[in-house]
Amino acid sequence: MHRTSQRRGLRSLRLLMLALGAGMLLPVRAQPAAGAGDTTLAPVTVTGQSQAASSAVSPTSVLSGDELTLRSQSTLGQTLDGLPGVSSTYFGPNASRPVIRGLDGERIRVLSNGAPTTDLSGQSYDHAVPLDPLVMERVEVLRGPAALQYGGNAVGGVVNVIDNRIPREPQFDAAGGISGRADGSLASGNLERAGALVLEAGNERYTVHADVMSRNAQDTYVPTSLSCTRGGVTTTARRLCNSAAQSSGGALGVSLFADDGYLGLSATSYASVYGTVAEDAVTIDMQSRRLAIEGERRNLRGPLQSLKVQASHTEYRHTELDAGSPLTQFRRDGSDLRLQGRHAPLGMWQGTLGLQFERSRYAADGSTVLAPFSRTEQSAAFVQEELPRSWGLLTLGARLESVQVESLGHPTATGFFVGGRSFQPLSYALGSMWQLAPAWQLTGNFSSTQRAPRDYEMFVNGFHVATNTQDIGNPDLGLERARNVELGVNWKRGAERVQLQAYVHEFGNYIGLMLSDASTSPPTYRYSQMQALFRGLEANADLRLRGGAQRLDLALRWDVVQADNLSTGEPLPRIAPMRLGATLVRTGGPWSARLGADYLAAQNRVPMGQQSTGGYTLWHAGATYRFKVRRSTLLWYARLDNAGDTLAYSASSILTQSVPGRAPLPGRSLKTGLQITF
């Protein structure tokens, strides 16, 4: 049955490729070149933005260029950790997912080039996202009404990773050319060796993209001695036991360009073998293969001005091993199709409308079985509208979904629920921006969202060795409903800006993985529903202390979120504490240097019986030096993390509860690297 689904998914994708090719490839004429040797694609915000003005309404964070290079960690969650309102699920250095405003799991939609990733990172904290920061060109974090284009479950936000594996615009002029980027780095804390190579070649009619990456790391250094048992021998060292990892991947893509559109195809492969840190001898062997196709036709006549199509098929596998012996193999295969068009103006209204279809199958086999086989089918229609006004901008968004989730039981294991559930989530949003003065803006957003429970939230029932927990689902879960209100004030003058956001998320039937019995070994966690309330503030500022050739800038950030289980009167678990950070950046000529610190308060607002975490301050520093060698630009960079070698534990990590004291944050580490762009 599982293989039949794979064949059907691949067959559907092939048919779609033929349809796209027939309908979108127009006679190609030479396009005017931007200039000889022009090889740079202008930055474009892809996530959830039908018009550029939408970013003025929805709070958006973007990482690219040197900032992304300096922040880059081994996982997506750790790379984004520290942005306003963004923390991490931190399951050691090899698996972490972004947490936005205290919301994690399926409430955060992770995209690859605007399309959904198919993996199991939302199912469990030890499951890694199969995207490596080494080949990322840009990462966008979006909250607000525009996120509805990608799912009503994106109440926390959308994280879009852009890697240009399907180029959307010509990279070169008629004469053609080749460009690329090579990056190599070393880190002291985990003796990591990492490298990536990205190449692009073509002319104004086509672009070919290729990339490869490799990362190899040993156990991570920590500021305290920890025991580690391997092969029956117990040792003690200042290393996070079982945190070593090896990963590699690559992609090949090509795009053909016409006067008014493009058609592209990419094939991606990623593999990683990493320790899970909750257990000394448990490792995960993960593989992901993805085939994607994308095309767009612009300057259409009639009701649609443009039409964009995206489709992909993903085969994801990972095997959990104990001392090298396979225990459970997890599989999720999925296909998705997205049609999005920008309609002709309706009076003053401008916007997009679209359809989205997703289909996936889940299976787990082995000596320990955590969940039954299942399949999920989703279809959705969405609309996103903008109305420019003399005082600012008004935005509207709505999404109607149909979701079918079915448990198929298991061929060798019993005790699982068998049957299906259907849901019809409806979500809508309203946003506005008032231009109070040339430098001042006031924003407001309201949304009502509904999310269907996922298969694992309903059907899981067993021991999960990688997290050392007993997880139990609930097949009677209903729709998760949320009402969200957000107000913001923005000030910008030249290079300086200040932003302040306040928000409230009020949940009915919030779905949470809650500790139900700490006395069992391992502890028992259950998926249950409750009334919940999230309230928070975010503030960040960029201030120029000195201009001219030797610039001096100060970046400030502060956020706090309070989350409560209204059904019990207790705080919700795994919520990041109040955080305050500052970074001083000096830039002059080819050099830049930075020094900063992040203070995290103690998190004592935890449910009864769970561990609190102490407060701490982490110091960090960085430097870059840019120079040219012939036609290439070289960037040397260095980053010092946790300069004070402070012992700290993450309040948003389940490890703090499931294996208390065994998984601190990494200690002092120096990373240095060289990046060549040509």
Per residue in 562-588, pLDDT (tens digit) is: 999 999 999 999 999 999 999 999 999
Q: Where are the beta strands (DSSP E) in 89-219?
A: 98-100, 108-112, 115-116, 138-142, 157-162, 177-187, 193-203, 206-217
How far is it, in rounded angstroms, from Cα 583 to Cα 556?
Answer: 7
Q: Please report whether residue 616 resides in a domain.
A: no
pTM of the model: 0.88
Indicate the pLDDT class of residue 145, thresholds 50, 70 and 90. Answer: low
Q: Please report whether residue 86 resides in a domain.
A: yes
Q: Please report whether residue 26 resides in a domain.
A: yes
The pLDDT of residue 532: 97
Q: DSSP for 19-40?
A: HHHHHH-PPP-PPPPSSTT---
How far is it, in rounded angstroms, from Cα 494 to Cα 251?
Answer: 39
Mean pLDDT of the chain: 89
pLDDT in tens, 339-394: 999 999 999 999 999 999 999 999 988 888 889 999 999 999 999 999 999 999 99
Phi then psi for 668, rounded to 5 degrees?
-60, 135
Asked whether residue 26 carries a pLDDT value surpassing 70, the answer given is no
**Which residue is associated with the tokens 């944050």?**
665
Lookup: tokens for 317:
């596998």
Euclidean distance between the first and the last CA atom of the chain, given in angstroms as a whole number: 48
143-147, 512-516, 524-528, 552-556 — most confident range = 552-556
Q: Please report whether residue 197 resides in a domain.
A: yes
Q: Please report whether residue 618 resides in a domain.
A: no
The pLDDT of residue 413: 87
Q: Is the Cα torsion angle 232, 236, 242, 247 positive or negative in sign?
A: negative
Question: Which helix (DSSP H) or strand (DSSP E) does residue 270 occupy?
Answer: strand 261-275
The pLDDT of residue 336: 96
157-162 vs 138-142, strand pairing mode? antiparallel
Q: Report the CATH number at residue 173.
A: 2.40.170.20
Number of domains in the chain: 1
The pLDDT of residue 367: 83
Q: Please report whether residue 617 resides in a domain.
A: no
How far is it, in rounded angstroms, from Cα 227 to Cα 37?
Answer: 57
Q: Please report whether residue 126 resides in a domain.
A: yes
Range of the domain at 253: 2-607+636-677
CB 562 within 8 A of CB 580: no
pLDDT in tens, 440-485: 999 999 999 999 999 999 999 988 877 778 899 999 999 999 999 9
pLDDT in tens, 269-325: 999 999 999 999 999 999 999 999 999 999 999 999 999 999 999 999 999 999 999
pLDDT in tens, 412-435: 888 899 999 999 999 999 999 999
Q: Please report whether residue 629 resides in a domain.
A: no
The pLDDT of residue 25: 36
